[in-house]
Chain A
Amino acid sequence: MENILQQLVNGLSLGSIYALIALGYTMVYGIIKLINFAHGEIYMLGAFIGYVFIQYFHLPFFVALVGAMICCAGIGVLIEFLAYRPLRGSTRIAALITAIGVSFLIQNVMKLRFFAGAEPRAFPQAIEQKMIEVGPIMVSNIQLLILGTTVVLMLGLQIIVMKTKMGKAMRAVSVDADAAMLMGISVNQTISFTFAIGSALAAAGGVMIGLYYNSIDPMMGVTPGLKAFVAAVFGGIGLIPGAALGGFSIGLIETFVSASSIEGLSAYKDAIVYFILIIVLLIKPTGLLGKNTKEKV
């Protein structure tokens, strides 16, 4: 029982990182139907920008976190403007390949010695890790910080999407871009804004994972990026609550499989995640929260 509670906490903190990245995936997908493969790289850039802020400018952790979020929001908008906007009218697969190209480009530019080099770097411990005993389980203050920040960011996102004018525009564009344009919504601005928000969330995830795992490198975005995409599909891609649910589910499944007492099972944790994903898709082909839309002829 204690073990289960303990793993629940571990799973939730890992899951919240996946959820933060998945939110960016799902928002971009919802608005322009693009699987933004460069999203995992934004997360990596966020971690590196946070690293620079803390290591070289000696900024406090939260200032570095916000700084990285703002920088990555800018980078996200720039990527959309340079690489995805010219492809707005073309096929989705062309846009997907461009996204993969952008992802390769960022990884390899960061691997150059001039920028970061291929070697992993130690993330500075801006906040000293302390273990807090809550009843029978041990929780580190960093886990609490990750969970707390994620919840605050998700609430913030919910307010932006549901209560502000920009959020309304985002929802309108995702339902029907042409109709939204006729209503006087600037579609390009709305899409830029979506990229900014999504990238900022990924950056927050990157900085926090740097603090949690202590090590960052230019390839760190690939696996979490893929897992977050799985999480977004798991919950129903295009749906913001779906991304949160998917992220937490994937984090929990992964943690429980690797901690399970069955011998040798932990080596198969990724396989089990994908297997469950496929089963979910077969039973509910649009993800857990997705609604089935009737195809019209």
Chain B
Amino acid sequence: MRKNLKYNLSWLLLAVAVYLGIFVLKSVGLLSGIVEDTLSLIGINVILAVGLNLIIGFSGQFSLGHAGFMAIGAYATAIFTQIQSTYTGFLLSILIGVGITIVVALVVGIPTLRLKGDYLAIATLGIAEIIRILIVNGKDDLSQGIFATGGAAGVFGIVDYANWEVIYIFMVLTTIIIANFIHSSTGRTVLSIREDEIAAEAMGVNSTKVKVLAFVLGAATASIAGSLHASYIQTIVPGDFGFMKSVDILIIVVFGGIGSLTGSFVAAILLGILNHVLRNVQAISDYRMIVYALALIIIMIFKPGGLLGKKELSMKKLFQRIGKGGKENASVDR
């Protein structure tokens, strides 16, 4: 317990140090608005990617519907903050989004997680599309009922409580929750299902229950990311949460390494920077998506396991390495 405290403390210190770093850079004036914007979007993408990585990388279930759960959170915030546009209202709306998402993920997950591989992928894709179509067909404004999603035009003028600091805090929180879940005993049963479901069941793991648990947890973080996205961008349309968004998140996960939380961080940051550069350099902005697509293909051909594979940055190994003078191959941990 005490040993773990040391590692947890060092993680916390790292998180605070990064926060202070950004804060200082910003107050000195080295961070322009565009860079801050990029940082916030990276933060939201990290939350999404870490959640999806839990589902795909750690429990081994192929979900193509992550954007659907994000949409639930985004619209929960968009609608509820119209009723109560205070800071508490914003936080409450996140909770409401998470609550609805958990219910939906349970209803959807219990039957569909029996499916395997591509069949599960297409079922989750279908669910995300159903959510999106329900939102497109929602009411125009609150006078017509609570499901006021504004239809295809979406909702605009959402209160902007989510600045980069709020996003950063939520990013750290969701990552801590998911990382601790993976390292808990339930987390180990999740990993065992990824490795071999039949063997895990033979050892007494209730595979459906564990898979649903991982799925629900991943979905709940997606909902949080959706709420932050809605409040940060302030305008949401159903088209934001289509199949392409799910693919975007999937790309971050696979690019970083399926089954590596560190990888999801690295990939979200690298792709965020790539997007930033491609969007803001005039000469190549027309070719943004082409460069993005080519980069994706080339990385997959030359590094099909993603940038980090299954490697994680682990404080424990780092300390051991420092302690033993770098003899062991550190920072390699599952």
Contact = CB atoms under 8 A, between A and B. Distances in A.
B37 interface: no
B123 A278 contact: yes
B119 A271 contact: no
27 contacts: A35-B118, A83-B297, A83-B301, A91-B258, A91-B305, A93-B258, A98-B300, A100-B247, A101-B293, A101-B294, A101-B300, A102-B293, A105-B294, A108-B289, A112-B290, A226-B125, A270-B133, A271-B130, A274-B130, A277-B123, A278-B123, A281-B112, A281-B115, A281-B119, A282-B114, A282-B115, A285-B116
Given A101-B296, A270-B129, 8 more contacts: A29-B118, A87-B301, A97-B296, A97-B300, A105-B297, A109-B290, A278-B127, A281-B123
Interface of B: 56, 62, 111-112, 114-116, 118-119, 121-123, 125-127, 129-130, 133-134, 136-137, 198-199, 243, 247, 250-251, 254-255, 258, 286-287, 289-290, 292-294, 296-297, 300-301, 304-305
B133 A271 contact: yes
Contacts of A108: 287, 289-290, 293
A271 B129 contact: yes
A229 interface: yes
Contacts of B119: 233, 281, 285-287
A268 interface: yes
Contacts of A90: 304-305
B300 A87 contact: yes
Contacts of A275: 126, 130
B200 to A, nearest CB: 12
B115 A100 contact: no
B290 A105 contact: yes
A262 interface: no
A230 interface: yes
A83 B56 CA distance: 23
Interface of A: 29, 35, 83, 86-87, 90-91, 93-95, 97-98, 100-102, 104-105, 107-109, 111-112, 222, 226, 229-230, 233, 237, 264, 267-268, 270-271, 274-275, 277-278, 281-282, 285-287, 295, 297
Nearest to A106: B293
A19 B247 CA distance: 25
Contact of B126 (A97, A105, A107, A277): A277
A233 B198 CA distance: 24
B297 A102 contact: yes
A290 B215 CA distance: 27
A285 B293 contact: no
Contacts of A97: 250-251, 254-255, 296, 300
A35 B118 CA distance: 8
B122 A281 contact: yes
A262 to B, nearest CB: 14
Contacts, number: 116
Given A108-B290, A282-B112, A94 B300 contact: yes
A108 B291 CA distance: 10
Contacts of A237: 118
Nearest to A33: B118
Nearest to A233: B122
Contacts of A278: 112, 123, 126-127
B115 A285 contact: yes
A264 B136 CA distance: 12
A263 B204 CA distance: 51
Contacts of B292: 104
A116 B112 CA distance: 41
Contacts of B304: 87, 90-91, 94
B129 A274 contact: yes
Contacts of B118: 29, 35, 233, 237
A277 B133 contact: no
Given A101-B300, A274-B127, A278-B127, A268 B137 contact: yes
B78 to A, nearest CB: 20
Contact of A277 (B111, B122, B198): B122
B299 to A, nearest CB: 9
Nearest to A273: B126
B114 A285 contact: yes
Nearest to A107: B289
Contacts of B130: 271, 274-275
Contact of B289 (A104, A274, A281, A287): A104
Contact of A94 (B121, B126, B305): B305
A226 B62 CA distance: 17
Nearest to B56: A93
Contacts of B125: 226, 274
Nearest to B292: A104
Contacts of A104: 289, 292-293, 296
A222 B56 CA distance: 24
A109 B294 CA distance: 11
